[in-house]
């Protein structure tokens, strides 16, 4: 049920966890930390487009209002997901989210790419790549 969070958690290297300041390595602490570091991620592009101020505000509110105690009840990851946007922003990474075969790109001017895959019921971390080796 917590596959979104498990996928995010699995993608984080020791360096990522250190960069985020994640000391207690478990899902609730990871989610709590993301909520604490919530910000308007205005340097991230979604499929090459900038976010409007309203979209940035809505993304911020989504994270702010997320109840970390419900993480085991599942998370409905969107095709323009606020937590993926925030993760891209905080780690200065690009994210490729392949949803039902469609590539959704969160770009943050980075050569590091984290690749996730999902369908209507499951989300998983696939692998890390670089611009020099972008095969998905």
E strand residue ranges, 25-101: 45-46, 94-99
Quote the pLDDT of residue 18: 93
Quote the pLDDT of residue 130: 83
Quote the pLDDT of residue 24: 80
Residue 74 to residue 101: CA distance in whole angstroms? 21
Contact 54, 46 (CB under 8 A): no
Quote the pLDDT of residue 97: 97
- pTM, 2 dp: 0.93
Quote the pLDDT of residue 135: 52
Quote the pLDDT of residue 6: 94
Backbone angles phi, psi at 26, to 5 degrees: -145, 165
**pLDDT < 70 stretches in the chain:** 1, 132-136
DSSP single-letter state for residue 47: T
Quote the pLDDT of residue 132: 67
Q: How many CB atoms lie within 10 A of CB 135?
A: 6
Contact 104, 79 (CB under 8 A): yes
């Amino acid at each position: 049920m917590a596959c979104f969070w498990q996928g995010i958690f699995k993608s984080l290297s020791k360096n990522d966890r250190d960069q985020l300041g994640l000391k207690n390595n478990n899902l609730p602490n990871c989610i709590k930390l993301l909520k604490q570091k919530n910000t308007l991620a205005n340097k991230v592009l979604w499929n090459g487009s900038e976010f409007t101020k309203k979209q940035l505000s809505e993304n911020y509110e989504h994270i702010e209002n997320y109840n970390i105690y419900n993480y085991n009840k599942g998370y409905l990851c969107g095709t323009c997901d606020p937590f993926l946007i925030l993760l891209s922003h905080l780690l200065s990474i690009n994210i490729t989210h392949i949803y039902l075969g469609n590539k959704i790109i969160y770009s943050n001017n980075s050569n590091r790419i984290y690749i996730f895959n999902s369908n209507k019921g499951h989300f998983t971390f696939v692998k890390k790549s670089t611009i020099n080796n972008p095969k998905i």
